[in-house]
Amino acid sequence: MIITTTDVIQGAMIESYLGIVTAEVVYGSNFLRDFLAGIRDIIGGRTASYERLFEQGQRKALEELEQRAQRLGANAVIGIEIDTGTINLDQSGVLLLITATGTAVRMRSNNS
């Protein structure tokens, strides 16, 4: 399956648009990671633990997006956009949200 941020795939033609597909990944906050990130805020620098978390979340969201597109009969997802955000849980913390959205399509090669 081809997954891409572009709406055109060179050498292929879209036979049918199967619909918008979305995938969401939500992670709970972690006291130790939050504490270490707070220290990084004070002294400066990158927060590797959060970078790894977002990288993992993006990968998981794209995997889920691909699975949902396959269930629709797609062989590609085009126009993919990944967004991140938070969900506030009052005093108890924050959830991290990673969303991937794209268009599931059935493509065929122009050579066929």
- State residue 45's pLDDT score: 59
Q: Tell whether 112 is covered by a domain.
A: no
Q: Tell whether 9 is covered by a domain.
A: yes
Q: Which tokens go with 95?
A: 């959830």
Q: Which tokens go with 71?
A: 């269930």
- pLDDT tens for residues 74-110? 999 999 999 988 887 776 677 889 999 999 999 997 7
Phi, psi of 36 (to 5 degrees): -65, -35
Q: What is the distance between the alpha carbons of residues 71 and 87, in angstroms, rounded to a whole number?
A: 29
The total of structural domains in the chain comes to 1
Q: Write out the residue range of the structural domain in which residue 69 sits.
A: 2-107
Q: Is residue 80 helix, strand or coil? A: strand
Q: Which tokens go with 30?
A: 């972690």
Q: Tell whether 77 is covered by a domain.
A: yes
By DSSP bridging, strand 94-109 and strand 76-88 are antiparallel
- Amino acid 109 reads S
| 63 in Cβ contact with 55 (< 8 Å) | no
The CATH number linked to 68 is 3.30.110.70
| 76 in Cβ contact with 105 (< 8 Å) | yes
**Is 60 exceeded by the pLDDT of residue 17?**
yes
Answer with the residue of higher pLDDT: 41 or 21.
21
- pLDDT tens for residues 41-71? 555 556 666 778 888 999 999 999 999 999 9
* Displacement of CA 34 from its chain's centroid (Å): 22
